[in-house]
Structure 1
Amino acid sequence: MIEFKMPTLAAEIEAATLVEWFKQPGDHIKRGDVIALAETQTGAIEIEAFDEGVIGEQRVQPGRQIEVGTVLATIFSSEEADRPLRAAKASGAVARHPYERRRSARPSTVRPRPAERTSAGCQQGGMLTIDGFSSAWPLANGAGDPAELAFDHAREPRMSKRGGAAREDLRKANGAAMLRSHREIPHYWVSHAIDATPLLEWVEAENAGRRAKNRLVYLAPLMKAAALALKDVPDLNGHYGERGFRPSSAVHMGLATPLRGGGLVAPAIRDTAARSVDELMFAIAALAPRARLGRLRRSEIADATIVLNNLVAGNVDGIFPLIHPPQVAIIACGAAGPRPWAIADTVCVRQVIQVTVAGDHRVSHALRAAEFLSRLSELLSKPEAL
């Protein structure tokens, strides 16, 4: 028997409120299945299973506030769960599942899924909009699967009822995380202007031959290039804890995303370096609306090894960000814009992105960030090879 405990959701989240169970006693689960929903200051987070087996006793009921480490339920292996059935069959008794009575006595709280969902994503002014709320990620017209861009209207009223109290909680949570970052992490910043003309021209050429729903935005190849560059500079990718720095063998890049009502969240796209540009584009399109509505998985919140803050709105040249603990670096990009650029003895106008890396002096130094930026610039000069 396994005790399934409340996992760590994010560095700044110590407790949450259990909203509902998606799996009931007797249900078979596998690793990665979403089994419960918890409400936090940053919105609703889906909790996934870490093991395969059968749900046993649910020790926490919806509505209760739970701290990290609290036992939520027991999980039995398939063999353990089937033992009473085999014993009953051997004795000639009526074979019933050991949790059948409990399952029938307790009504399921699972809400209808995609059949009752409708798409709220639309295109407006080159920006992804969700129910009238504009995203900071400019998406190509029709990008993303409509089913993935949809959200649960039935849940929206419950979340919106929280109102200005909810926004204040979110600001406090984000403020506490950034205060901890500023207080505990010895930051350094390295900034570099990158010629993004090849990147933007390649994206434009690619989109010319694609249908609207398959078009790209430059964020997708930018993420891919950043993830590949991090493989060469692993000091910037991982977590810092009580035992020091733990580098990550894979890049799980978080995207800084503004939430409804204020605040930020940085959900991760796992194995960023291993995905194709098209796969990243689809992941971005699917993640954006769920992040804005505060409906994310625990792994998307807790597993990020580094964050990319892509400040594309407005005419901001750059940003000097704070690291999200327990990560050890963060990448921030300003908006792409025309600037004078020297090539040999000629000055011309090029599309330039200012990229800044904030690093943790306990783990790395400015030279490593400079190496990353140099490698990133090299990769973006040949986007067709990504």
Structure 2
Amino acid sequence: MAEFTMPSLGADMDEGTLLEWLVQPGDPVHKGDPVAVVETAKSTIEVECFETGTMAELLVDPGATVPVGTPLAVIGTSGEDGARKPRKRTARHARKKSEPTEPAPASPRPSPPPSAPPPSPAAEPEPMPATPVPAATPATVLHPGHLEAGPLLRHLAEHSGVDLEALRGTGPGGRVTRADVEKAAAARSAARPPRARATPLARRLAAELGVDLTTVAGTGTDSAVRAADVRQAAPGPATPVAPPRADARPAVERHATVPPSDDRAATMRRAIAALMSRANRDIPHYYLSTTVDMAASMNWLREHNRHSPVGERLLPAALLLKAAALAAREVPELNGSWTDNHFTAGEGVHLGVAVSLRGGGLVAPTLRDADALALPQLMAALKDMVTRARTGRLRGSEVSDATITVTNLGDQGVESVFGVIYPPQVALVGFGRVVDRPWAVDGLLGVRPVVTATLSADHRATDGAVGARYLTAVTRLLQNPEQL
């Protein structure tokens, strides 16, 4: 058996809220499969499984907030699951069989003291206790079967709202089987009005926006309605003015008292403030900057986009990110983390990309092995990641293990940015807007597109000479875009 625990989805995460389970007890799971949705102070994230096996038991209910490292579920791994369950059933069965057999030896013990003849009559009554047992009422026969029910069957019954004690088992000896529980659950579901499948976050959002979940087409597992589906189905700008409706008043009053979006933004801001305060306090930063001539890159980009389909065209950001990743591979002293008072080089270049969220705040999901991605692949991965970051659909593996982070504020009109390092990383690269500036080339003054590249680095891990090598590598790569 293996424990599935609340993962750490960032250096600033101390606890998380379990929003929903994407699997149930008895479901097979594979390494990398999303099994739960967790809400952190910054975002809503799908958490993947790190074991392959069968989901044996769910330990935490949706809606609960628990610290990082808290066991959320138990997974029966292949090999252990099959080996443990028979031993458990055997142990329980042995205990049950010992209970009726213990009184039998007790009767011969008191019988010898009176005289020798009693043992022979006492031997005849032994089959008599066995005779009434089959003749007992069905409840008496069924009760041991209920006790034989394994944990998966009990969890299935609990999840389905089925009372095991009220079931008549169809298995050997009157034992309740999985088919009995599923049949009872189906009958129970048929007896109650239909209820739309939706995540807890989607239900909360639907109540706030006045959306009828039964009219929303779900895109989640088994067509479950997700928060993104509710937002899409919500009315336009008129929605916030809907408070006058009587049936919506409780949600509106609650919204007016503690607006969920404002509360979430405040929580995120506090988390960012705590992490950045710690980073500024504990990390001795040094800063470098350089201005890069982007003429060769922009010319190459125009030619590439002219001969590419619309869906494969690139933005300058793709070139900047690829140059940052390749430079990190060339200067590995800046690609890794500072832990336990020493530097640990990263296994691969996993590029964290700062993404601003529409409701305020930011997250930094990870482009894994960014140095090995071709430019079209990197562009597609970037678009997909930014979209899912802003709709709360990131996965756990995408918000952890970054080895160096890039922040690009060029689309905001900023020409240079000096960022704060995201611990435990040791460097953060900043890019501004590509702008036209007077530029001297071979002694002649002209107008060229340029970009300001900056580096914030941890002085404990490196010094300015290493940082300068990194920015020099970035400059060389951007001036030779065919190497990207």
- TM-score band, normalised by shorter chain: 0.7 to 0.9
Contact 1:81 1:98 in 2 (8 A): no
Letter in 1 for 2:155: R
- Residue 162 of structure 1 is aligned with which of 242, 260, 271? 260
Q: Please say if residues 248 and 305 of structure 1, whose CA atoms lie closer than 8 Å, have aligned partners that are also in contact.
A: yes
**Relative to 1, partners in 2 of residues 1:317 and 1:84: Cα closer, same or farther, differing over 3 Å?**
closer
Distance 1:302 1:316 in 2: 27
Distance 1:98 1:62, change over 3 A: closer
What pairs up with 1:180-259 in 2 under 5 angstroms? 180-259=278-357
Write the distance in 2 (CA, Å) between the matches of 1:48 and 1:237.
Answer: 25
Q: Determine which structure has greater relative contact order: mean sequence separation of CA pairs < 8 Å that are 6+ residues apart, divided by chain length.
A: 1
Pick aligned residue for 2:460 from 339, 359, 362: 362
Q: CA deviation at 1:249?
A: 2.2
Report the counterpart of residue 229 of structure 2 in structure 1: 153
Q: Which structure: greater helix fraction?
A: 2
8 Å contact from structure 1 (residues 318, 333) kept in 2: yes
The equivalent position to 1:177 in structure 2, one of 267, 275, 294, is 275
- Quote how far apart the aligned CAs of 1:81 are: 2.8
Give CA deviations for 1:343-367 in whole Å, capped at 9, x if unaligned: 1211111110100000000101111
C-alpha distance in 2, partners of 1:319/1:166? 26
CA distance in 2, matches of 1:234, 1:4: 33
Q: Contact conserved, 1:151 with 1:290, CA < 8 A, in 2?
A: no
Could you tell me the TM-score, scaled by structure 1's length? 0.83
Which residue identity is paired with 2:476?
Answer: E
Instruction: Tell me what 1:66 maps to.
Output: 66
Give SS of 2:399's match.
helix
Does the 8 Å contact 2:25/2:56 carry over to 1? Answer: yes
Deviation at 1:27, TM superposition (A): 1.5
After TM superposition, the structure 1 = structure 2 runs for residues 1-386 of structure 1, keeping only pairs within 5 Å, are 1-83=1-83, 99-100=152-153, 102-103=155-156, 105-106=158-159, 116-117=218-219, 152-154=228-230, 162-386=260-484
Moved more, 307-316 or 31-40: 307-316
Query: CA–CA distance in 2 between the matches of 1:314 and 1:4?
Result: 41
Contact map agreement 2:25 2:155 (CA 8 A) in 1: yes
Higher deviation after alignment, 241-250 or 52-61:
241-250
Distance in structure 2 (CA, Å) of the matches to 1:23 and 1:117 = 16
- Please give the secondary structure, in 2, of the residue aligned with 1:35: strand
Distance 1:303 1:102, change over 3 A: same
Whole-Å Cα distance in 1 between the matches of residues 295 and 157 of structure 2? 62
Deviations 1:192-227 (A, max 9, x none): 101111111111111111121121112112211211
1:37-92 Cα deviation digits (max 9, x unpaired): 1111102122111121111111111111110110111111123334589899xxxx
C-alpha contact (below 8 Å) 1:28/1:54 kept by paired residues: yes
Matched to 1:75, the amino acid is I
In structure 2, the residue matched to 1:139 is none
Q: 1:81 is matched by which residue type in structure 2?
A: D
Task: Give me the whole-angstrom Cα distance separating, in 1, the residues matched to 2:336 and 2:227.
Answer: 32
Structure 1 unpaired stretches of 5+: 119-149
Number of aligned residues = 348
| CA distance in 1: counterparts of 2:276 and 2:327, whole angstroms | 26
Partner of 2:338, secondary structure, is: strand
Q: In 1, are the aligned partners of 2:43 and 2:363 still within 8 Å (CA)?
A: no
Distance change (3 Å), C-alpha of 1:107 and 1:252: farther
State the distance in 1 between where 2:426 and 2:83 align: 47
The structural deviation recorded for 1:316 is: 2.1
Question: Percent of aligned positions with the same letter in both sequences?
Answer: 38
Q: CA deviation at 1:315?
A: 3.3
More strand by share: 1
Note closer, same or farther for the CA distance 1:261–1:152 as it changes in structure 2 (3 Å cut): closer
Question: CA offsets, 1:7-55, max 9 Å, x none?
Answer: 1111111011111111111111122111111111102122111121111
- The 3 A distance-change label for structure 1 pair 110 and 33 is farther
3-state DSSP class of the match of 1:317? Answer: coil
The answer on whether the counterparts of 2:228 and 2:391 sit within 8 Å (CA) in structure 1 is no
What RMSD in Å do the two structures reach over aligned CA positions? 2.8
Residues 259 and 294 of structure 1 are in contact (CA less than 8 Å); yes or no, is this contact kept in structure 2? Answer: no
* Alignment partners' CA distance in 2, 1:116 and 1:316: 39
Is the contact between residue 322 and residue 370 of structure 2 (CA under 8 Å) also seen in structure 1? yes
